[in-house]
């Protein structure tokens, strides 16, 4: 990933966190990493623990950002969630996997779409 892409991704994650907080979720971790990969955001939505994948794009020329979450990415996030739960000792009665799309717009605010339980 280039420095420019990292900056775009970091901005998208900040937009996603603001959106989640505004929607009443409580983030507990950002950019959690282990040898198997990274989880962008982990947040409580009431009693439900949400593992969030954030996809940021500058244009929708190649589809929406959410379309970049392919089945292999979903499987990987499920495995990472199991690692996080084991590593932290956190328990939750219910977990879900969300996708947050951030589409940057010229001269305006980013467009954020949150899909709870995307997969």
For the chain, domains (ranges, CATH) are 3-115 (3.40.1350.10)
Mean pLDDT of all residues in 76-88: 97
Distance CA(81)–CA(73), nearest Å, equals 12
Record the pTM: 0.91
State the pLDDT at residue 75. 95
Left (φ > 0), alpha (ψ -120 to 50) or beta: where does 46 sit? left
State the pLDDT at residue 77. 97
67: Cβ contacts below 8 Å, ≥ 6 apart: none
């Amino acid at each position: 990933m280039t420095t420019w892409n990292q900056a775009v991704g970091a901005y998208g994650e900040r937009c996603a966190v603001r959106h989640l907080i505004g929607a009443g979720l409580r983030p507990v971790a950002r950019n959690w990493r282990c040898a198997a990969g990274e989880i962008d955001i982990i947040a409580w939505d009431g009693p439900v623990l949400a593992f969030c994948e954030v996809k940021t794009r500058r244009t929708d020329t190649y589809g929406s950002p959410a379309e970049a979450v392919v089945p292999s990415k979903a499987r990987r996030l499920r495995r990472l969630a199991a690692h996080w739960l084991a590593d932290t000792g956190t328990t939750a009665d219910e977990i879900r996997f969300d996708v947050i799309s951030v589409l940057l717009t010229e001269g305006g605010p980013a467009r954020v779409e949150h899909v709870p339980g995307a997969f």
